Structure 1
């Protein structure tokens, strides 16, 4: 078989190791920079990288999404390799399957989503009646904000307020522009993913080849293999768990008599990809859906109660237990990373925050000058072992 038809892996490159593997740096080998100029230059470099990531979002986001998707579908590519399917055909098969899954979900969810979109304006008076305890303070706050905006508008020069409000009036134009941007990024992501799948380990092989010493070659191979193994396992695990959460949520909503149970299961599945922030959004969504549709009042709270119980069982017990041996990230840094990348890149950034943080920790653990940073990113092992 020709080399282009093989499916080499990063783990195959580690066969160059003869006696010992390149294990993570031990806590006793964590050198801290002694020169203030090193810290200052490193900080400037990080700021420059983040600024470039913010400015180049349109280019970088599809590339990183494609890279993460490649890690997710890597087990499928290995399975296709075992049945001797050519790489080009395997890559095309995976891309078509992913696109079919996306468009199939959109087709199945579009009608229920449109139904609830038309139902929401009609149910707002009922929703306000049920939450009248908090409606008065919210109305007062709304009036205060409106009054403040009117005062600011009067203080601005003539024409300024009108020009500032003009963009908000063109809602249709904003939606059209957002749809065009999403479509372009979506197609770019899958185009990059296709070529990443076709290239296989070409970039890794070239990187290993240019490393100056055998030790450096072995370190690069080990880091790549660890990233592929850990991140792929993480993505596959959370995808399976999210699917189970979606199924359980859909069944619970069906049992409660809430319409379009498949829609609620899909919402729970998708929101669970964003740790902490996603479930919090789900709480608001399921609370609103129950308030709009279910009687009596105690039953209206059951969707959010059941959704919260399912999330606690999955998110606080099962998934951490499955991932504890591979990921011990500091939960405070996880939430900071979520908030930061959500601000930088929006919802896709929040989805990518944890995988990127995990990749950073894997690299830091195996590069001696960065070992202290890797140790700082680590969570409490005793809590996981107990």
Structure 2
């Protein structure tokens, strides 16, 4: 075997890179070109990630119904398939699946909103009662206020005039927002219907219009995994949240809170929003408890009981039922929640976890970018893939 003479020059297609230990490794120009392309991909992806919120926010009338319709298609396609097995035509089965979904949502919103409207009329009295509790508490801490006044006099802080700008009332904001909401709901319904109705043709096109059998097999696995993950997650979480709502409704009835069905419905709906929803539910229970109870400690009992229930549900029940398949990094969940809430508000917060699940399933099959390893000289994409399934 002929060795390489260290005195001879390097071949023209290689470059010597010296590591920290003094050893030299040869990097081909092909590897350098691949790394340069990977760096460009990372820069373009970062720019797209930063610019996408502004595009999606400005075009929310189009993009929000589109993304919502895609999520509804993933969830309701199995329902339409089951209805088609009973002999219903495909368009009728697709429409029935959508109608069933909207009936469930409308029933839940009616059960929550109708008592909430009557409860809203007593909100000023509850706010006044909460103010009395805080004024009583502030009276016990009067020395803090006196200390603040003394510091202000020492500093010589001048009292300035406050200018309060009158804004539109809540009814005016609702009147302005209603046409846009109705338009987005109508677009979502139409897009979801046509997507669900075209699901069979889409599957056939993805599977049969590929030039290679391996590409068809990969497309089938990606479609199946994305649909299974998102649909199973939403169905399982819906059952868990419904159980939480039933327990909250029973607890509200036992504690003597008004409209226990409303509190159960609010707990169910807000539990779909990770982290932020339970915090909002706790704040509402605390506000209602302090606004109706004579003793502040007694008013905090509903909020404390809900916190205990949420701790058991989030740390014991949900991980045991969902398992490792749906376990996601909490940092990624919070990032997706803040990202899509920033873009689309409350609908974005509800869609954040399903979108994250769909993207996770896609990355599992197509390859996850190794961003941190790439910064230290590793390839951007790993060659490892998911193990092949026996069936599709």
TM-score w.r.t. structure 1 length? Answer: 0.76
Determine which of 113, 126, 131 is the counterpart of 2:116.
113
Q: 1:102 to 1:38 in 2, by over 3 A?
A: closer
1:371 Cα deviation after fit? 4.8
1:129 maps onto 2:132 in alignment = yes
1:201 is paired with a residue of what secondary structure? helix
Q: Which has the higher contact order (CA 8 A, sep 6+)?
A: 1
Q: 1:105 to 1:282 in 2, by over 3 A?
A: same
Gaps (5+ residues) in structure 2?
1-33, 153-157, 374-379, 381-392
Query: In the alignment, which residue of structure 1 is the partner of 2:217?
Result: 218
Q: Figure out how many residues of one structure are paired with residues of the other and give that number.
A: 325
Which structure dedicates a bigger proportion of its chain to helix?
1
Once the two structures are superposed, residues 194-240 of structure 1 have per-residue CA deviations (whole angstroms, 9 ceiling, x without a partner) of 22221123234323444443222221211111000111100000000
* Contact kept in structure 2, 1:362 and 1:374, CA below 8 Å: no
* Contact kept in structure 2, 1:361 and 1:374, CA below 8 Å: no
- How far apart, CA to CA, are the structure 1 residues paired with 2:315 and 2:72? 25
Query: In the alignment, which residue of structure 2 is the partner of 1:206?
Result: 205
1:295 Cα deviation after fit? 4.4
RMSD: 3.0
* Contact kept in structure 1, 2:207 and 2:220, CA below 8 Å: yes
* Contact kept in structure 1, 2:76 and 2:98, CA below 8 Å: no
1:258 is paired with a residue of what secondary structure? coil
- How far apart, CA to CA, are the structure 2 residues paired with 1:356 and 1:69? 11
- How far apart, CA to CA, are the structure 2 residues paired with 1:169 and 1:99? 31
- How far apart, CA to CA, are the structure 1 residues paired with 2:330 and 2:308? 21
Runs of 4+ aligned structure 1 residues displaced above 4 Å come to 134-138, 147-151, 373-376
- How far apart, CA to CA, are the structure 1 residues paired with 2:204 and 2:160? 59
Once the two structures are superposed, residues 30-72 of structure 1 have per-residue CA deviations (whole angstroms, 9 ceiling, x without a partner) of xxx7223332233334444444322221111112112222333
- How far apart, CA to CA, are the structure 2 residues paired with 1:309 and 1:149? 46
Gaps (5+ residues) in structure 1?
1-32, 154-160, 377-386
Query: In the alignment, which residue of structure 2 is the partner of 1:372?
Result: 370
* Contact kept in structure 2, 1:123 and 1:292, CA below 8 Å: yes
- How far apart, CA to CA, are the structure 2 residues paired with 1:327 and 1:74? 20
- How far apart, CA to CA, are the structure 1 residues paired with 2:160 and 2:44? 44
Q: Please say which structure displays the higher CA radius of gyration.
A: 2
- How far apart, CA to CA, are the structure 2 residues paired with 1:373 and 1:125? 53
